[in-house]
């Protein structure tokens, strides 16, 4: 007779084991590969190599630039959209929101193909304006991810606070700047998290638009296809550290409800 | 008045910009033109190619099969994980909860690369066995299932489970017939989310797939590099079909959602 008794908490064992094997273990392997060379000896060469090579450092700054500009453009377009939708009295708000979010469910490579065809008609050769086209492509791809969290936060906004502000003599602009905007910061932060990191690493957008891959993610791709796993791991590790710092910094401010907005309206 | 007009025009303009490329592609998918801009006659050739070329048919079937299969596994794993963690102590909550966040915040390239290094580099898994591809997709999806089930567990009425035990149900029966029905909406939306994540994924697929297998994403990316016009325009047809399917799904979801709300509303009135 075994003394095994079924407990509800034991249900998480399969998932826990799965996470340890396929989420934790890969990270450990990455760290190991990043600090060893081909013979398995400890080395810092991959690290110093990254920071001394003009190619990798240049790519890091260029992708940072792409990510910052994309995030700003998305924010400037998404905030008004979310604000108008959340604060207005349109009768079918949720339907209009759906219309803005729906592109999320169409395969992004097909959407970028469509964008490419249109841009080619307008501009001709897309590689003449690489930075501009990258920003257009990334914004087109990620805009819905920015709209959703900001909308969720604005929708929860307590109307009586706005009334109080206007009762106390604040005009519309002041009310917006001093009440609405500060209260929507959690949504904005969640949106930034959703857009910034992907636009720093998603090299497929560039690759599809004009066959360039001058972005952080593609360095991993290049090292991967040339079987240089040690340098590739170092790039992955550096990206991982950027992501970690970014997450720690934003976690404090992000809106929990709007957090994982990939699910979005599906909930 | 002008304020409302300006906002409506702005929203309209953004919608047009978002959908214009997809619409133009949809219109051209019904012509025999190989480039946008040139005006040609009506033709269904692209749709015929899409459904008759074995290469394209296999690619679409493979993508769907992978999406549904991996989503099913991810849903089971993620749901069990969420239920288990909900009833476990702080330790389980901390370990599984924080590991669960890793694939959510991590860049997909990094997830894909690290998983590939582990499976193919360190463990010597053969890519052509589809094992690495399947594991990759489950890693991508299950955290989101977990995240959509957890809120439902928190909203659940715990006394019902206790009542079931008091009435003589075994824990596993109580879980199946009391807890599961209450979290089912979260499980279903988790599954739907998992399917869409799998369909949209490029990075994990391209790092872990067998060389001869393609999903829609990897196929499209390869096709943009190539110069086969027939394939290129057939993909316009595919894009149009996917667009129509998504629109239909959204309409269906809205209709059933409204009906459920009405039902819930009627129920509440009765109680009063």
B109: nearest CB among A33, A103, A220: A220
> Are the beta carbons of B115 and A22 separated by less than 8 Å?
yes
Q: What is the distance between the alpha carbons of residues A232 and B110, in angstroms, rounded to a whole number?
A: 10
Q: What is the distance between the alpha carbons of residues B182 and B160, in angstroms, rounded to a whole number?
A: 10
Mean local confidence (pLDDT), A9-27: 90
Ordered alpha helix ranges (H), B88-107: 90-105
Q: A215 to chain B, minimum CA–CA distance in Å?
A: 12
pLDDT surpassing 80 at residue A91:
no
Confidence label for A166 from pLDDT (cuts 50, 70 and 90): confident
Window from A67-76, A198-207, A252-261, B171-180 with minimum mean pLDDT = A252-261
> Are the beta carbons of B250 and A98 separated by less than 8 Å?
yes
Q: Residues A220-261: pLDDT tens digits?
A: 888 887 778 888 899 899 989 988 888 888 877 765 554 445
Residues of chain B with C-beta less than 8 angstroms from the C-beta of A118: 20-21, 24, 36
Please report, for chain A, the start and end positions of each structural domain, with discontinuous segments joined by +. 26-262
> Are the beta carbons of B108 and A203 separated by less than 8 Å?
no
Q: What is the distance between the alpha carbons of residues B248 and B33, in angstroms, rounded to a whole number?
A: 27
Q: A115 to chain B, minimum CA–CA distance in Å?
A: 5
> Are the beta carbons of A77 and B122 separated by less than 8 Å?
no
Pair B207, B113: CB distance under 8 Å: yes
φ/ψ (deg, to 5) at B201: -70, 135
Q: Residues A35-68: pLDDT tens digits?
A: 988 777 788 888 888 888 888 888 888 889 999 9
> Are the beta carbons of B80 and A27 separated by less than 8 Å?
no
Q: B15 to chain A, minimum CA–CA distance in Å?
A: 7
Share of chain B above pLDDT 90, in %: 40
Q: Is B258 exposed, middle or buried (0-12, 13-18, 19+ CB in 10 A)?
A: exposed
Please report, for chain B, the start and end positions of each structural domain, with discontinuous segments joined by +. 27-239
Share of chain B above pLDDT 70, in %: 93
Q: Residues B66-124: pLDDT tens digits?
A: 999 999 999 999 999 999 998 887 888 888 888 998 998 888 899 999 999 898 877 88
Residues of chain A with C-beta less than 8 angstroms from the C-beta of B200: 104-105, 107-108
> Are the beta carbons of A233 and B117 separated by less than 8 Å?
yes
pLDDT surpassing 70 at residue A266:
no
> Are the beta carbons of A243 and B105 separated by less than 8 Å?
yes
Mean local confidence (pLDDT), B156-170: 86
Residues of chain B with C-beta less than 8 angstroms from the C-beta of A116: 224
Confidence label for B270 from pLDDT (cuts 50, 70 and 90): very low
Q: Could you tell me the end-to-end alpha-carbon distance of chain B, in angstroms, rounded to an integer?
A: 41
pLDDT of residue B81: 93
Radius of gyration of chain B (CA): 23
Residues of chain B with C-beta less than 8 angstroms from the C-beta of A88: 4, 7
A267: nearest CB among B36, B103, B148: B148
CB contact residues (below 8 A), chain A span 244-263, against chain B? 247, 260, 262-263
* CB proximity A115 to B under 8 Å: yes
Mean local confidence (pLDDT), A180-209: 88
pLDDT surpassing 60 at residue B268:
no
Pair A105, B13: CB distance under 8 Å: no
pLDDT of residue B41: 80
Angle at A145 between CA A141 and CA A148, to 5 degrees: 140
Predicted TM-score (pTM) above 0.95: no
pLDDT of residue A265: 45
Interface test with B, best of A64, A109, A240 (most B CBs within 10 A): A109
Q: Residues B26-47: pLDDT tens digits?
A: 988 888 877 777 777 888 888 8
Mean local confidence (pLDDT), B191-219: 91
Mean local confidence (pLDDT), A131-160: 90
| More confidently predicted of B184 and A229 | B184
Confidence label for B272 from pLDDT (cuts 50, 70 and 90): very low
pLDDT of residue B262: 58
B202: nearest CB among A29, A109, A117: A109
* CB proximity A98 to B under 8 Å: yes
Q: What is the CATH number of domain B27-239?
A: 1.10.3720.10
pLDDT of residue A165: 85
> Are the beta carbons of A18 and B242 separated by less than 8 Å?
no
Confidence label for A18 from pLDDT (cuts 50, 70 and 90): very high
Residues of chain B with C-beta less than 8 angstroms from the C-beta of A198: 107-108
Q: What is the distance between the alpha carbons of residues B105 and A241, in angstroms, rounded to a whole number?
A: 12
Mean local confidence (pLDDT), A204-232: 80
B118: nearest CB among A26, A94, A105: A26
* Buried residues in A53-90 as b, exposed as e (16+ CB within 10 A): eeebeebbebbeebbebbbebbbebbbbbbbbbbbeeb
pLDDT of residue B253: 81
Q: B87 to chain A, minimum CA–CA distance in Å?
A: 5
pLDDT of residue A60: 87
> Are the beta carbons of A29 and B139 separated by less than 8 Å?
no
pLDDT surpassing 50 at residue B271:
no
Residue B31, classed as helix, strand or coil, is strand
Confidence label for A205 from pLDDT (cuts 50, 70 and 90): confident
Residues of chain B with C-beta less than 8 angstroms from the C-beta of A14: 77, 80-81
Q: What is the distance between the alpha carbons of residues B180 and B177, in angstroms, rounded to a whole number?
A: 6
Pair A104, A145: CB distance under 8 Å: yes
Distant-in-sequence, close-in-space partners of B86: CB < 8 Å, separation ≥ 6 = B150, B153, B154
> Are the beta carbons of B113 and A96 separated by less than 8 Å?
no
Distant-in-sequence, close-in-space partners of B194: CB < 8 Å, separation ≥ 6 = B70, B71, B74, B75, B78, B141, B142, B144, B145
The CATH class that applies to domain A26-262 reads mainly alpha
Mean pLDDT over each residue of chain A, to the nearest integer: 84
Would you list the DSSP string of A149-161? HHHHHHHH--HHH
Residue B88, classed as helix, strand or coil, is coil
pLDDT surpassing 70 at residue A193:
yes
> Are the beta carbons of B7 and A88 separated by less than 8 Å?
yes
């Amino acid at each position: 007779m075994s003394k095994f008794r079924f407990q509800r908490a034991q249900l998480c064992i399969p998932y826990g084991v799965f996470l340890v094997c396929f989420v934790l273990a890969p990270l450990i392997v990455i760290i190991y590969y990043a600090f060893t060379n081909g013979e398995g000896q400890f080395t810092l060469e991959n690290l110093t190599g990254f920071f001394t090579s003009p190619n990798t450092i240049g790519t890091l700054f260029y992708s940072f630039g792409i990510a910052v500009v994309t995030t700003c453009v998305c924010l400037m377009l998404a905030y008004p959209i979310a604000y108008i939708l959340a604060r207005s009295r349109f009768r079918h708000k949720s339907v209009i929101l759906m219309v803005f979010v729906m592109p999320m469910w169409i395969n992004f490579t097909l959407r970028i193909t469509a964008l490419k065809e249109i841009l080619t008609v307008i501009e001709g050769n897309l590689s003449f304006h690489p930075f501009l086209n990258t920003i257009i492509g990334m914004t087109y791809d990620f805009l819905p991810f920015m709209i959703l969290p900001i909308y969720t936060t604005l929708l929860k906004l307590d109307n009586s606070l706005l009334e109080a502000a206007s009762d106390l003599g604040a005009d519309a602009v002041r009310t917006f700047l001093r009440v609405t905007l500060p209260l929507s910061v959690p949504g904005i932060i969640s949106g930034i998290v959703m857009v910034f990191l992907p636009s720093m690493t998603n090299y497929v957008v560039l690759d599809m638009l004009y066959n360039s891959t001058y972005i952080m993610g593609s360095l991993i791709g290049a090292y991967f296809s040339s079987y240089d796993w040690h340098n590739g791991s170092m790039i992955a590790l550096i990206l991982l550290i950027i992501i970690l710092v970014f997450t720690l910094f934003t976690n404090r401010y992000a809106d929990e409800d709007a957090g994982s907005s990939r699910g979005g309206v599906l909930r | 008045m002008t304020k409302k007009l300006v906002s409506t025009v702005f929203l309209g303009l953004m919608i047009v910009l978002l959908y214009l490329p997809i619409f133009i592609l949809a219109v051209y998918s019904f012509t025999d033109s190989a480039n946008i801009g040139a005006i040609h006659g009506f033709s269904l050739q692209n749709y015929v190619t899409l459904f008759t070329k074995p290469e394209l048919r296999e690619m679409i079937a493979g993508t769907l099969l992978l999406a549904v299969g991996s989503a099913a596994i991810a849903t089971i794993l993620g749901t069990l994980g969420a239920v288990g963690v909900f009833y476990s102590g702080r330790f389980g909550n901390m370990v599984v909860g924080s590991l669960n966040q890793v694939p959510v915040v991590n860049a997909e390239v990094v997830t894909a690369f690290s998983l590939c290094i582990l499976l193919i580099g360190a463990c010597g898994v053969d890519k052509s066995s589809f094992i690495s591809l399947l594991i990759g997709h489950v890693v991508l999806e299950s955290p989101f299932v977990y995240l959509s089930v957890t809120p439902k567990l928190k909203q659940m009425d715990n006394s019902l489970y206790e009542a079931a035990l008091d009435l003589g149900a075994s824990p596993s029966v109580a879980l199946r017939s009391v807890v599961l029905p209450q979290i089912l909406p979260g499980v279903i939306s988790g599954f739907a989310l998992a399917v869409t994540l799998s369909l949209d994924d490029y990075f994990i697929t391209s790092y872990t797939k067998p060389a001869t297998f393609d999903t829609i994403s990897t196929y499209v990316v390869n096709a943009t590099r190539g110069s086969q016009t027939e394939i290129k325009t057939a993909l316009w047809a595919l894009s149009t079909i996917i667009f129509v399917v998504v629109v239909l799904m959204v309409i269906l979801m809205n209709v059933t959602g409204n009906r459920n709300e009405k039902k819930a509303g009627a129920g509440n009135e009765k109680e009063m």
